[in-house]
Structure formats: C-alpha cells, structure tokens
Amino acid sequence: MTISILIADDHGLIRAGLRALLQNVPELNVVGEAEDGNTALRRIEELKPDIVLMDISLPGLSGIEVTRQVRGISPQTRVLALTVHEDEGMLREMLRAGAHGYILKRAVDSDLIQAIRVVSQGHIYVYPSLTSALVKDLSPHAQALQSTEAALTGRELEVLLLLARGYTNRQIAAEMNLSVRTIEGHRASLVDKLGISSRVELMNYVEAHGLNSKM
C-alpha cells in the first residue's frame, strides 16, 4: 500500500531534503509541496494526500489553522506535525486542532518514517520526549515515573490522547479498530495507573489540564 504525502514547510531546503529521504522508501510517495498555509490548503483539497507533514510556523495561515481546516476539505487526510517546537503547549494545540502526530525536526530519519507509518494506520504518534512530559503533566501520581513506557502501554497512551481530543469510547474503538469493551479495559487501566478513582474523574482531569478537544 502506497502512502501519499504532502510536505508543507516554508524552507525549500527542508522540503527538498524530506522529498529525497521519503522517495527512497518504497511505500511512500511525495505527491506535492507547499511553502505557506494557503497553498497547503489548496494542495490538500486538490491532492487529498494520506499524510501532510505540517510545519507549524507557516507564513500566512499557521500550521495549526491549516490543521483545523483539513477535516472539512479532506477527511481522510491525517496531519503529522513536523516542527522545531519542543513545547507541550504547542503539542496540545496541534492535537486539539486535529493532528494525529507530532515529531521534532531533530528526529532521526527512521523515527520520521515510523511516525508516518503509525499515523497512516490511524494511530497517534507523539515524539518520545514530549509524550513523557505530557503524561507526567496529566497527573501528579505519574510524576514519579521515569518514562512514558514505564507508565502506560502504547495502546493506553493512544486511548489517553484520543480522550484528550474528546473522543467517546465508541469513537476510540472505531479509530483504533478495536472493540468498545477493549477500550473500556484500557480506560480502566488508565484510571488505575494515573491514580484517579473513576472514569469521570479521568475525563475531568484531562479537561482541567486543557487537553480536552474542542473540535
């Protein structure tokens, strides 16, 4: 299966470097580029790519604003933020806007390729340094944990981030291609691991920390 990709970045050298990298991966196909936010929207509507590698600091419309509009013009397109901003606030803004992934430009090539594959399969990818910080921020009970991997499984983290975007159990099940009962199990595990006594408290905690989606 070929994954079609649009690169949205205002630096020509970065776009050229990304194209050269991705064209060497058999299942990846760069179908277009955009140097600013308005051009990105036009290309997304025209090309309907599977993935947009989205720089946040685009001229004109920002990457966040473009991401907010993607679902309306190309519902099947998934946004993977590719940015220099190693910032939890920016991560939250992109997730609220509808991004399915967030990776830093300092990541190694293999991490970027893996992130594209993960997002194309309908999952959420967050660069490890930011994922760890995000989970620690969610609950004071998690602050003693040394890493995200020690705290939550990959599936649990996906469920947590989808909850932060306002998804219901049924919507999460559809997004992850799992049963509703399985999602309920993951939520119960989150309640246990984050030290919160009920699902309602979990959702209130997520909302209180500004992670609940307003989409």
pLDDT for 134 equals: 58
Which of residues 68, 94, 125 is at a domain's end? 125
In b/e form, how buried is each residue of 178-188, taking b as 16+ CB within 10 angstroms?
beeeebeebbe
66/162 same-domain check: no
CATH at residue 110: 3.40.50.2300
> How many CB atoms sit inside 10 A of residue 207's CB?
14
Is pTM beyond 0.85 here?
no
Q: Which domain holds residue 201?
A: 131-208
Instruction: Identify whether 58 is part of a domain.
Output: yes
pLDDT for 193 equals: 75
pLDDT for 180 equals: 92
118/148 same-domain check: no
pLDDT for 199 equals: 53
Q: How far apart, in whole angstroms, are the C-alpha atoms of residue 121 and residue 113?
A: 13
> How many CB atoms sit inside 10 A of residue 27's CB?
12
106/136 same-domain check: no
pLDDT for 65 equals: 95
pLDDT for 76 equals: 92
User: For 86-137, what is each residue's pLDDT tens digit?
Assistant: 888 888 888 889 898 899 999 899 999 989 998 998 888 888 777 655 555 5
165/182 same-domain check: yes
CA 83 from centre of chain: 12
Total domains in the fold of the chain:
2
pLDDT for 78 equals: 95
Q: How far apart, in whole angstroms, are the C-alpha atoms of residue 81 and residue 12?
A: 17
Which of residues 99, 125, 151 is at a domain's end? 125
16/91 same-domain check: yes
33/104 same-domain check: yes
Q: Which residues, given as ranges, of the chain have pLDDT below 70?
A: 131-152, 154, 164-166, 195-215
pLDDT for 146 equals: 37
